[in-house]
C-alpha cells in the first residue's frame, strides 16, 4: 500500500498548492506560435515512447517512427547483439530518407542485416555504421568508419522503447520517469503480448484529446452506458478515487464500472453474450505480478490506473489483467495522430479471443465518443470567446498537464535566453 498522503481534508487540487485553483487559459492549445515553442521545448527534449519491444520481436528487426513535432523520422533497430538503438532515418551521403517502403511519408517495419539507400546505394548496418560506399574512390578524403547514421539517445523501460532528441538528455530515462511511473517496471507487461491496435487522425491540438482521458467528470454525460445502478460513490463507481502527481507525470485511479457485477438490464445484449466490454473481458486471466506497481493510492474497489507519462504517453492498467496504451502525436497546432493499443495475455480459447476482440471494439467505440467532442472544443477555443476556463477538483490532472507543458516551454525559453546572452 502506498504511503502517499491522501488529503485529510480539503480537495485534491488544494493538496498541490502550486497548481492554484484559478481559471485556466487554453491558449497553449490554439496558438501556432506556442506549438512551435512546444516542438523545441518538449518534443526535442523529453523522453518519448516510440514503441514496444514487441515491435522488435527478434534480433535484426527494425521499425521507423515519424515524429512530425520533432521534425524528423527515426529508425529503431534491434542489433544482432540484442541491443535496441535509434537513429535519425537519414542517409549520411546526401540526406535522403534512408528507410521506407512504398512511400517515404509512411512508417515501415521489417527485418534484415543492413539498410541500402535507394539513391546511390550506400549501406548501413543495424548498429548504424556505414558498411559500403558505392565507388568510394571517387570521393575526397572520406573515412567510411566516420560516416555512420546520426544516433539518437534510446533506452528501454519495462519493454517501452523511449528516445530523446536532446544531446545529451538532461536526465536518464529512469530519473525522468521518477518513482511513481518507475514502480511500473515490476508490472508483467512482457506477458501481455496479444495486441489490438487502432489509429486516428484528429482535428484538435494533441493536448485537447489527452485532456479527455485525464478526468472522469465527463463520463456520466458523455458515456451514459458506462453507468450502472450504483452511482456517485468514488470507491465503487466511475468517479476517481485517487490522484497523484510526480514531476510532470500523473496518475488517476478509479474503480471503473464493474460490468460483470451489473444486473442484465444495464448491459448491452452483446456484452452479456461476449462477457466483455470496455473494462475488458470479465474473466481475468492469471497473471503473476499483476498488482506490482499499480494502485498507488490503495483504492479498495480498484478498477483502472491511468498513468499519464509526460508528454504524450498514457498507460491504463486494468484490474482485469490487461492494459491499454495511448500516444498522441501532434502534426500541427490543431491536428494530431492518435495511436491506441490494447494488450492481453495470449488467448487460449476461441471464447477468450472473442472477448478480447469485443473489448477492443468497445474501447474504440468509447474513444470515438470522446473524439466526437474534439473538433467542437478546438473550434470553440479558437473563437477566443473566453480567455480562460474554470476547472473543478476532478479536473486536477488537466490543470497539472497544462501547467507542466507551460513550465517546460518557459524553462526552455529561459535557458535559450541565458545561452544567447
Residue 96 contact, options Fe ion, ligand FES, none, Cβ 5-8 Å cut-off depending on partner type: ligand FES
Query: Least distance to ligand FES from the beta carbon of 7, Å?
Result: 58
Residue 119 contact, options Fe ion, ligand FES, none, Cβ 5-8 Å cut-off depending on partner type: ligand FES
Query: Least distance to ligand FES from the beta carbon of 56, Å?
Result: 24
Q: DSSP secondary structure string, 192-222?
A: --EEEEEEEEESS-HHHHHHHTS-STTHHHH
Phi-psi region of 382 (alpha: psi -120 to 50; beta: other; left: phi over 0): alpha
Q: Which is nearer to ligand FES, 94 or 300 (CB)?
A: 94
Residue 61 contact, options Fe ion, ligand FES, none, Cβ 5-8 Å cut-off depending on partner type: none
Report if residue 94 touches ligand FES, rule: CB under 6 A: yes
Residue 91 contact, options ligand FES, Fe ion, none, Cβ 5-8 Å cut-off depending on partner type: ligand FES
Among 19, 108, 117, 210, binds ligand FES (CB under 6 A): 117
The CA R_g of the chain, rounded to the nearest whole Å, is 23
**Cα–Cα distance measured from residue 116 to residue 259, given in angstroms and rounded to the nearest whole number:** 52
Identify whether 168 is preceded by a cis peptide bond (ω within 30 of 0). yes
Number of residues in contact with ligand FES under rule CB under 6 A = 9
Site string for Fe ion, 233-262 (x = CB under 5 A): ------------------------------
Q: Which is nearer to ligand FES, 116 or 227 (CB)?
A: 116
End-to-end CA distance of the chain: 49
Q: DSSP secondary structure string, 96-159?
A: -B---SS-TTS--EEE-SEEE-TTT--EEETTS-EEE-TTGGGSSS--GGG----EEEEEEETT
Query: Least distance to Fe ion from the beta carbon of 48, Å?
Result: 24
Residue 120 contact, options Fe ion, ligand FES, none, Cβ 5-8 Å cut-off depending on partner type: ligand FES
**Cα–Cα distance measured from residue 345 to residue 307, given in angstroms and rounded to the nearest whole number:** 20
Among 16, 119, 132, 198, binds ligand FES (CB under 6 A): 119
Contacts of 313 (CB under 8 A, 6+ apart): 48, 49, 160, 325, 326, 327
Residue 370 contact, options ligand FES, Fe ion, none, Cβ 5-8 Å cut-off depending on partner type: Fe ion
Q: Which is nearer to Fe ion, 209 or 343 (CB)?
A: 209
Query: Least distance to Fe ion from the beta carbon of 419, Å?
Result: 42
Report if residue 21 touches ligand FES, rule: CB under 6 A: no
Report if residue 131 touches ligand FES, rule: CB under 6 A: no
Report if residue 88 touches ligand FES, rule: CB under 6 A: no
Beta bridge partners of 306: 252, 316
**Cα–Cα distance measured from residue 240 to residue 302, given in angstroms and rounded to the nearest whole number:** 10
**Cα–Cα distance measured from residue 361 to residue 353, given in angstroms and rounded to the nearest whole number:** 12
Contacts of 349 (CB under 8 A, 6+ apart): none
Q: Which residues inside 361-390 make contact with Fe ion, applying CB under 5 A? A: 370
Q: Which is nearer to ligand FES, 23 or 139 (CB)?
A: 139
Chain contacts with Fe ion (rule: CB under 5 A) = 370
Chain contacts with ligand FES (rule: CB under 6 A) = 91, 93-94, 96, 117, 119-122
Amino acid at each position: 500500500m502506498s504511503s502517499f498522503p491522501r488529503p485529510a481534508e480539503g480537495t485534491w487540487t488544494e493538496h498541490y498548492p502550486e497548481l492554484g485553483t484559478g481559471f485556466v487559459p487554453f491558449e497553449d492549445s490554439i496558438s501556432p506560435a506556442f506549438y512551435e515553442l512546444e516542438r523545441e521545448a518538449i518534443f526535442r527534449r523529453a523522453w518519448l515512447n516510440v514503441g514496444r519491444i514487441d515491435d522488435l520481436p527478434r534480433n535484426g528487426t527494425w521499425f521507423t517512427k515519424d515524429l512530425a513535432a520533432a521534425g524528423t523520422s527515426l529508425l529503431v533497430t534491434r542489433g544482432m547483439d540484442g541491443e535496441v538503438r535509434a537513429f535519425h532515418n537519414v542517409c549520411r551521403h546526401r540526406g535522403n530518407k534512408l528507410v521506407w517502403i512504398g512511400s517515404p511519408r509512411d512508417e515501415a517495419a521489417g527485418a534484415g542485416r543492413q539498410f541500402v539507400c535507394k539513391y546511390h546505394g550506400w549501406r548501413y548496418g543495424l548498429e548504424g555504421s556505414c558498411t559500403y560506399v558505392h565507388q568510394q574512390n571517387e570521393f575526397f578524403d572520406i573515412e567510411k568508419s566516420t560516416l555512420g547514421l546520426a544516433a539518437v539517445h534510446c533506452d528501454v523501460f519495462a519493454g517501452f522503447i523511449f528516445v530523446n532528441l536532446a544531446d545529451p538528455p538532461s536526465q536518464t530515462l529512469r530519473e525522468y520517469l521518477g518513482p511513481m511511473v518507475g514502480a511500473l517496471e515490476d508490472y508483467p507487461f512482457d506477458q501481455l503480448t496479444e495486441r489490438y491496435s487502432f489509429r486516428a487522425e484528429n482535428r484538435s491540438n494533441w493536448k485537447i484529446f489527452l485532456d479527455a482521458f485525464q478526468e472522469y467528470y465527463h463520463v456520466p454525460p458523455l458515456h451514459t452506458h458506462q453507468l450502472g445502478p450504483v452511482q456517485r460513490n468514488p470507491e465503487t463507481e466511475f468517479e476517481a478515487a485517487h490522484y497523484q502527481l510526480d514531476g510532470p507525470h500523473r496518475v488517476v485511479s478509479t474503480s471503473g464500472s464493474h460490468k460483470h457485477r451489473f444486473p442484465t438490464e444495464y448491459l448491452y445484449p452483446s456484452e452479456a453474450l461476449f462477457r466483455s466490454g470496455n473494462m475488458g473481458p470479465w474473466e481475468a486471466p492469471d497473471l503473476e505480478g499483476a498488482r506490482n506497481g499499480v494502485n498507488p493510492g490503495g483504492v479498495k474497489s480498484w478498477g483502472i490506473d491511468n498513468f499519464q507519462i509526460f508528454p504524450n504517453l498514457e498507460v491504463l492498467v486494468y484490474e482485469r489483467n490487461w492494459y491499454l496504451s495511448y500516444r498522441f502525436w501532434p502534426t500541427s497546432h490543431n491536428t494530431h495522430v492518435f495511436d491506441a493499443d490494447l494488450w492481453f495475455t495470449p488467448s487460449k480459447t476461441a471464447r477468450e479471443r472473442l472477448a478480447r476482440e469485443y473489448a477492443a471494439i468497445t474501447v474504440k467505440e468509447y474513444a470515438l465518443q470522446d473524439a466526437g467532442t474534439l473538433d467542437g472544443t478546438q473550434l470553440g477555443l479558437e473563437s477566443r470567446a473566453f480567455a480562460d476556463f474554470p476547472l473543478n477538483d476532478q479536473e486536477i490532472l488537466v490543470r497539472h498537464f497544462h501547467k507542466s507543458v507551460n513550465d517546460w516551454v518557459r524553462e526552455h525559453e529561459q535557458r535559450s535566453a541565458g545561452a544567447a546572452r
